[in-house]
Amino acid sequence: MLTVNRYKCCYCGACVGVCPTCALELVETWLEVSAECKECGLCTKICPVGALEVKA
């Protein structure tokens, strides 16, 4: 599953822009992950601070 390290996330929304299934939503300082997430990992690559990780 996709995990968000809330202590690292700087809530910039870059991940939301690349998500092919529209599964991410940035709400102020809170990144929401919906059930639409296919764990493709694109968002983890774009994250400037490495706050996202797909864990088995």
Partner 1 sequence: MKCDLIVVGGGPGGSMAAKTAASAGLNVVMLEKRQEIGDPVRCAEGVSKRALCRMMLPEPEWISSEVKGARIYAPDGKSIVMSEDKSGGEVGYVLERKVFDRGLAMQAAQAGAKILVKTRALGLLRKDGAICGVSGLRIGEPLQIEAPLIIGADGVESKVGRWAGIDTTLKLQDIESCAQFLVQDASIDDEYTEFFLGNSIAPSGYAWSFPKGEKLANIGLGIQGSRSKPGEAMRLLRQFMKTRFPNGKVVEMVVGGDPCSGPIDSAITDGVMLVGDAAHQTDPLTGGGILNAMQAGIIAGEVAAKAITAGNVRRAGLQEYEDRWREDFGKVIARSFQFKEFFVKLTDKDMNQLIGSLAKEDISKMDLPGMLRVLFRLNPKLLWGLKSLII
Tell me: does residue 39 bind partner 1 (CB under 8 A).
no
Give least dist CB 32 to partner 1, A. Answer: 11
For residue 34, which phi and psi values (nearest 5 degrees)? Answer: -95, 175
Instruction: State the Cα–Cα distance between residues 12 and 56, nearest whole angstrom.
Output: 25
3-class SS of residue 14:
helix
Nearer to partner 1, 33 or 52 (CB): 52
Site string for partner 1, 11-30 (x = CB under 8 A): xxxxxxxxxx-x-xxxxx--
User: Residues in the site for partner 1, rule: CB under 8 A?
Assistant: 8, 10-20, 22, 24-28, 42, 44-53
